Amino acid sequence: MHEMAISESIVQIIEEQAQTQSFSSVKTVWLEIGRFAGIEIEALRFTFDVVSRNSVAEGSLLEIIEIPGSAWCMECGKNVDIQQRFDPCPECGSFQVQVSGGDGMRIKELEVN
Amino acid sequence: MCTVCGCGEGETRIEGHDHEDHSHGHDHSHRHPHSHEHEHDHHHYGQGPARAHAPGMDQQRMVQIEQDILGKNDRYASGNRQWFADHGILALNLVSSPGSGKTTLLTATLDALAGELPLAVIEGDQETSNDADRIRATGAPALQINTGKGCHLDAHMVGHAVESLEPAEGSVLFIENVGNLVCPAAFDLGEAHKVAILSVTEGEDKPIKYPDMFLAADLIILNKIDLLPYLQFDVAKCLEYAHRVKPGVQILQLSATSGEGMENWLQWIRMTRQTRLIGHPALQPQSAAVPA
C-alpha cells in the first residue's frame, strides 16, 4: 500500500503548485503512470480520495494515462513493447532486454479554478 | 506528507527524533477512519468528461506540471547520498520479505565485522524496537524507525535517522528496510546499493513474482542454504529467474546461522566499501594501520 505515500506526494505537489500558480481548487488531475511503476491504480484512486480531503485537490477527478511498457532488446537491437518486466523480447526471445519506458510516474497537468 | 517538513503520514516514529518539535499545525485528513462507503461509489472516477477541457472557455485553466511524483523523495535521497559520500559511509539498503532472516544475517555480519570496520544500523519496522534491540546487543549503534501504517522507509525518514544516529566517518551503514518485497523498491533512500535477501524457505520464483525489487537490487543473497537438504527448493531455477529479471546480477548463497558462505558476503562488504571510499580520507587510517 505505498499508494498512500504516492497519493500524499501527489497532493503535496498540487498544494505547492496552488501556492506558486495561484489556484484554489482542482477539477481534474492528469497522471501518467507507467505499467512498471508498481502502482495499483484502484488503490491509488482510493487513497487519493482519502488523502486529498481538506486540500485544494479535494473532490478532483483523477484521470490516469497509462504508459505502456517498452524495452530495448540488446540481442536484436530493437525497441519492443513488453507486458511485464521480465518478459523476453517478443521478436527473438532473448531476456537481455532493458526497460526503456513505462517505469515512471508523474503529474502531467491540472485543470484548476 | 506533511507540508511543513515533508514528514510521512504522521505515524512514523524515529527513535531520538521528537516529532512534536515540528508542531504540525494541520490535520492530516488520512488519519480519520476511512469511509468505506467509498468502495461502492468510486467507479465514477475515470468516466467523467476526460480531456473535454477547453482552456479559455471559462475560468478554469490548465496548469502544466510535468513533475515526477517521487521527485521529493528522490531529492531527499540525493541529499542523503551526498552526505554519505562526504562522510565516507557505505549505505546498504537491505530489502526482503518478512522472515527471510535479514536481522539474523545482520547480527551475524555485525558480530563478524565488529572491531574491523565502523558499523551502524537503521532498523525499519512497522512496530516494536525488537530488531534494534537485537542489533544493539551486538554493540553496534542502532536506531529504530517505526513506520506505523507505512510499508516502507523513505529518504526523509532515513535523513532524520542519520541525524540522530550520527554514524562515524567511514562506517558501513546497514538500513534494514520494512519486510516487504513490493513498496521499498520504489523508494530510493540514498543508499549505495540495495541488497535483496531471499531465503530458501520461500518460493524459488520470488524474483519473477516481485521483479521490481529484484531489478532494483545490486546484490541478491540466497539465505538459509543450510536448510536445502530438507526442502524442495530448486537453486538453479531460482538463479535463472533472478537473472531473467536482472541479467548479470551477483548472487551469494549463504547461511547466516551455520556461517557457510558468510565470508563471501563479508568480503563483498569490505571490497564495496574500499571501492566506495577511493580518494576519501576515511580510508586513510585503515591503510596507515598496515605496517609499511
Please write down the HEC assignment for all residues of B105-171. Answer: HHHHHHHHHCCCCCEEEEEEECCCCHHHHHHHCCCCCEEEEECCCCCCCCHHHHHHHHHHHCCCCCC
Q: Would you call B8 and A8 a contact, using CB atoms and an 8 Å cutoff?
A: yes
B209 pLDDT above the threshold of 50: yes
Nearest by CB to residue A1, choosing from B151, B185, B208, is B151
Q: How big, in percent rounded to 5, are the helix, strand and coil portions of chain B?
A: 40, 15, 45
Closest chain A residue to the Cα of B246, Cα to Cα: A86
Contact B63 A112 (CB under 8 A): yes
CA distance A108 to A105: 9
Whole-model pTM: value is 0.77
pLDDT at position A72:
93
- The C-alpha of A74 sits at a distance from chain B's nearest C-alpha, in angstroms, of 11
- Pairing outcome for strands A97-101 and B90-96: unpaired
Which of residues B49 and A45 earns the better pLDDT score?
A45
Q: Which three cell numbers stand for residue B155?
A: 529518504
Measured between beta carbons, the chain B residues lying within 8 angstroms of A110 are: 62-63, 65
Q: How many CB atoms lie within 10 A of CB B195?
A: 26
Decide if B43 is inside a domain.
no
Return the HEC string of A37-104.
CCCCHHHHHHHHHHHCCCCCCCCCEEEEEEECCEEEECCCCCEEECCCCCCCCCCCCCCCEEEEECCC
Q: Is B221 helix (H, G, I), strand (E, B) or coil?
A: strand
Q: Which domain holds residue B117?
A: 72-77+87-278
B110, part of any domain:
yes
Nearest by CB to residue A109, choosing from B63, B72, B183, is B63
- The mean of the pLDDT values for chain B is 82
**d(C-alpha B227, C-alpha B25), whole Å:** 53
Give the pLDDT of residue B72: 87
- Residue B113: inside a domain: yes
Q: How far apart are CA A84 and CA A73, in angstroms?
A: 14
Is the pLDDT confidence value at B111 over 90?
A: yes
Q: Is B22 on the interface with A (CB under 8 A)?
A: no
| Cβ(B155)–Cβ(B76) below 8 Å | yes
Report the residue of B37, B39, B45 to disrupt the A interface, i.e. the one with the largest count of A CBs within 10 Å: B45
Q: Is residue B120 assigned to a domain?
A: yes
Query: Which domains are delineated in chain A?
Result: 3-112 (3.30.2320.80)
Interface test with B, best of A51, A111, A113 (most B CBs within 10 A): A111
**Beta pairing partners, B121:** B142, B174
Model confidence pLDDT, tens digit, residues A14-24: 999 999 999 99
Rounded to an integer, the average pLDDT of B145-158 is 88
On whether residue B285 sits in a domain, the answer given is: no
Q: Looking at residue B198, which CATH number applies to its domain?
A: 3.40.50.300
The pLDDT value given to residue B66: 85
Query: For A47, which residue in chain B has the nearest alpha carbon?
Result: B30
- Mutation for A interface: B63, B68, B183, most A CBs within 10 A: B63
Total domain count, chain B: 1
B210 touches chain A (CB under 8 A): no
- B188 at A interface, C-beta within 8 A: no
Residue A33: helix, strand or coil by DSSP? Answer: strand
Q: Is pLDDT at B8 greater than 60 in this prediction?
A: no
Res B147: pLDDT = 86
Least confident of A20-29, A101-110, B7-16, B91-100: B7-16
Using a CB–CB cutoff of 8 Å, tell me whether B47 touches chain A: no
The reply to whether residue A86 touches residue B211, judged by beta carbons under 8 angstroms, is yes
Give the residue, B80 or B246, on which the prediction is more confident: B80
Which residues on B lie below 8 Å from A38 (Cβ)? 182-183, 185-186, 212
**Within a domain: residue B63?**
no
Which among B69, B149, B245 is the nearest to A106, CB-wise?
B69
Residue B40 inside a domain? The answer is no
In whole angstroms, give the CA distance from residue B291 to residue B287: 9
Q: For residues A59-71, b (16+ Cβ closer than 10 Å) or e, as one string?
A: ebbbbbeebebbb
Radius of gyration of chain A (CA): 17
Between A33 and B29, the more confident residue is: A33
List the single residue in B with minimal CA-CA distance to A65: B46
Pairwise CB contact (< 8 Å): A9 & B72: yes
pLDDT at B126: 87
ipTM: 0.75
At B17 the pLDDT is 64
Interface A-B, measured as beta-carbon pairs within 8 A, has a size of 143
